[in-house]
Amino acid sequence: MSIFTKTVVIFFMFTSTLAFAKTETNIAKPNAKITKNITAKMKVLNLQISSMKNSVIKGLYQVQTNQGVFYVSADGNYLINGSIYDLNNNMRNVTEKSLDAWRLKKLKSFEPDMIIYKAKNQKHVITVFTDTSCAYCKKLHSQISDYNKLGITVRYLAFPRSGINSPTYDTMVSIWCAKDRKLAMNNSKKGKSVVSKTCKNTVKEQYELGVSFGVRGTPAIILDDGSMKAGYLPPENLLTVIQQSKKAK
């Protein structure tokens, strides 16, 4: 169950936040006392903090949690859910951009668990959070060879949209426990049955990683610069997005 169905938190604070930011001339970096205070309050909401730093708006901390990014006031009394946009830089999503390097670092430790479809002439590497029951995930998978021909290597991580207590989760565990993971994935994407198996696996951790990244649906694509694109993109379109993302760096 989401934290949003367990507790009532007022998020519509844009005006008051701006007023606070204007009057606040300085904000201390999150020290042990501040971190402890905010951690305790967010724990009530089942939010586990992995990092906390000053945000681009004075008076607000950017807090990375197991359920994505939030902003918290310096006194720890107010929590904001949403993205910050730079009005002076073509509505650049500051929140999203701040996560690029962090995502790449987190993905590194999951590389041994990825199901990889490598391009012979590899130019780009994307990581896709996928679901075996997702129509657009199946569409993306049916074009794997087309992505590969464009030099795009596709790496899969599991993201059962219905959660870890669902038939899809069990199917994805069976795929990750299969002797031939790629064959099991191929069969599943084609609507064929997958032999039920269990083993030591990280499907739950993969799902939790996606949630912390801000994944809310599938497919969710992490580009090789760490930026995330939600939804299916045809091969040629994806290549264009990747190239544009690199130019924007």
Six-digit token string for 185 = 């994935």
The β-bridge partners of 64 are 51, 69
103, 113, 131, 155: which is the annotated catalytic residue? 131
Q: Is 131 marked active-site?
A: yes
Closest to 121 (Cα-Cα) out of 154, 153, 151: 151
- What residues contact residue 155 under an 8 Å CB cut-off, 6+ apart? 111, 114, 115, 116, 117, 125, 126, 127, 128
Q: Which of 161, 177, 224, 225 is catalytic?
A: 161
Q: Which residue intervals of 44-160 are DSSP H helices?
A: 94-97, 100-108, 135-142, 144-149
% helix / strand / coil in the chain, to the nearest 5?
A: 40, 20, 40
> Is residue 161 annotated as a catalytic residue, yes or no?
yes
Catalytically annotated residues: 131, 134, 137, 161
